[in-house]
Structure formats: C-alpha cells, structure tokens
Amino acid sequence: MNDSKISVRYARALFGLAVEKKELERIFDDMKYISEICRIPEVKELIDNPVIVPSKKKQALRSVLRDKAHDLTLSLIDIVVGNGREKFIPAIAREFIRETKTYRGITESVLTTAVEINDNIRSRIRDLIENIFKTKVELKEEIDKNIIGGFILKVEDSYIDASVRKKLRTIEKELKGSALTT
C-alpha cells in the first residue's frame, strides 16, 4: 500500500472521530505536539528502530504524551504502533493538521522574500490572498537572500515568482537564445 494512503487513512479516521466527539481543537493541538516531538532525534530513533518491540514503543510514546494528549490520540498511537506502522506517525500528524486547516477554511501560504517585511506589507498581502482566494490565510514567511529582491508567493497550487533572480534568469535565457540565432 502506498505510504501516503496509509497516513491519510489514519489521519482521516482520527479527524472523523475528533469532529464526532467535538474534540477537534484538542486533537489538533495533540497532533501539532506530536509533529514537534517527532523531530527530536531520540524520538525519531525510537519510532524508526525495528529492534524495539511495539510494547516498549507504546510505553515510551505514552510516557512522552501522558499528561498532554487526549485519550483519542493515545488510542491512535496504540493502534498505529500495534499495527507496525509507527514510522507513519509524523505523516499522520501532518495530514491531520492539513485536514483540520482545510475543514476550518484556512489556506497555508508561503511568502519568500530576500529581506524581512514589515507588518503593513504582511497585512496587505494577507488581505489580498484572502480576497482573491476567498479563504482565511495562514501566512508563513521565509527569507532567502538568493532571490536577490522581489518575492515568491505560494498559495495552494498557485505560484507567483516575482523575484529578481527569476527575471535575471529570463534575461539570461533570452540573451543566450539570441546569441545562438545570430
């Protein structure tokens, strides 16, 4: 079975239960926490290590999540580890977070600039995206000095590259193309 299908199925099952039990906010927080702890090298090693028996993995993960996680989240961990699918836990958390944002009508957008932008520009960009896409926006910002200037904006499947780097590459291609024809 395709790895992404496995993650999606577990995440959607948990999402359905969370909505049904009216615990979406709590489970969403759990999944954000799980996503964070799965980046810790020791937790990653625990999840990926085939030598550690599932009962020990469940016990270790439960001890990390004990006072923070909802019973539904702990049940999911037990089922996933019991089925030998613990390597999918980070992907399940990511998929659950994505599913929840979609349910809430939130679009994740990424704005890449060469320098940090001020609050006024940030607000104008967020408003522009909300008006065009008719959605709430969660704007993530990245700094990439390699783009030289301008910006790159990714919203859903739309991608706008208004960077100086792209414009220079376009000019370079045009010059090389004209050099070949003369």
pLDDT at 180 over 80: no
* Rounded-to-integer distance, Cα 181 and Cα 169, Å: 19
Q: Looking at residue 50, which CATH number applies to its domain?
A: 1.10.520.20
Q: What is the tens place of the pLDDT at every residue in 28-69?
A: 999 999 999 999 999 999 999 989 999 999 999 989 887 889
Mean pLDDT of 132-138: 89
pLDDT at 132 over 60: yes
| 88, 171: one domain | no
| 96, 115: one domain | no
Residue 143, domain extent: 107-181
Query: Which residue would you say has higher pLDDT here, 18 or 175?
Result: 18
Query: Domain total for the chain?
Result: 2
**Predicted structure pTM score:** 0.76
Q: What is the tens place of the pLDDT at every residue in 76-129?
A: 999 999 999 999 999 999 999 999 999 999 988 999 999 999 999 999 999 988
Question: E-assigned strands of the chain?
Answer: 106-113, 136-143, 150-155, 158-163
| 140, 72: one domain | no
| pLDDT at 156 (0 to 100) | 79
Q: Is 178 exposed, middle or buried (0-12, 13-18, 19+ CB in 10 A)?
A: exposed
Q: What is the tens place of the pLDDT at every residue in 148-165?
A: 998 999 987 888 898 899
